[in-house]
Chain A
């Protein structure tokens, strides 16, 4: 069965510093990986997805994600954090049955 782990419940970073939100996955077969962001009292918004062959994926709002097959990781990164990036971030994997499996979420706080 597919699974996703986000080992940090909370990540704090100062504005202007680089940020990383971690995600590891377990799948049988090729991984179909996604990052979503949720702002307070809103639905989830798509940020980016892994495309086979590209180890560094660029997405919305300046975010990018680094795929590492040997470590089964898909960490979300941004070179310079903004206060407005503060939100709840979810990593997800899609299985061959077309269902999405979500991680528990990581709350990012960017401090001014």
Chain B
């Protein structure tokens, strides 16, 4: 199993550009989520999905869109990049169903918006 994969590893954007961060998991997990990590702030939830076709907003959803057309994939779209979106982005997945199931994390995407 590859686990949770993310592409790209690094990305530099100019203000106003759009892009999609890819996330895929091969563990047949129902629950997937996107976080951003900023120094001193831990991980903040952007969007999450409890299954294919179902998505919802987390703590910091503004400026981001998601979709979940398959169980495996959960892409994150930046519609019009802003310098405040400079961060490290992590995708994670959980089996779901039991609240004591742990999350599995991807390696992250480091995004810089100029």
Contacts and interface: CB of A to CB of B under 8 A. Distances in A.
B107 interface: yes
A43 B93 CA distance: 12
Which of B33, B94, B100, B107 has the most CB atoms of chain A within a 10 A radius of its CB? B100
Nearest to A96: B99
Query: Which interface class (under 10, 10 to 19, 20 to 34, 35 or more) fits A?
Result: 20 to 34
A3 to B, nearest CB: 11
Nearest to A44: B105
Interface of A: 9, 32, 34, 36, 41-46, 49-51, 90, 94, 96, 98-105
Given A34-B102, A44-B92, A100-B45, 18 more contacts: A32-B99, A36-B103, A41-B108, A42-B107, A43-B90, A44-B90, A46-B103, A49-B102, A90-B43, A98-B48, A98-B96, A99-B33, A99-B45, A99-B58, A101-B45, A102-B42, A104-B40, A104-B42
Given A43-B90, A90-B43, A105-B42, A100 B103 contact: yes
A15 B31 CA distance: 39
B70 to A, nearest CB: 19
Interface size class of B (residues with CB under 8 A): 20 to 34
B105 to A, nearest CB: 4
B94 A98 contact: yes
Interface of B: 4, 31, 33, 35, 40-45, 48, 50, 58, 90, 92, 94, 96, 99-100, 102-108
A94 B33 contact: no
Contact of A46 (B35, B41, B99, B104): B104
A43 B100 contact: no
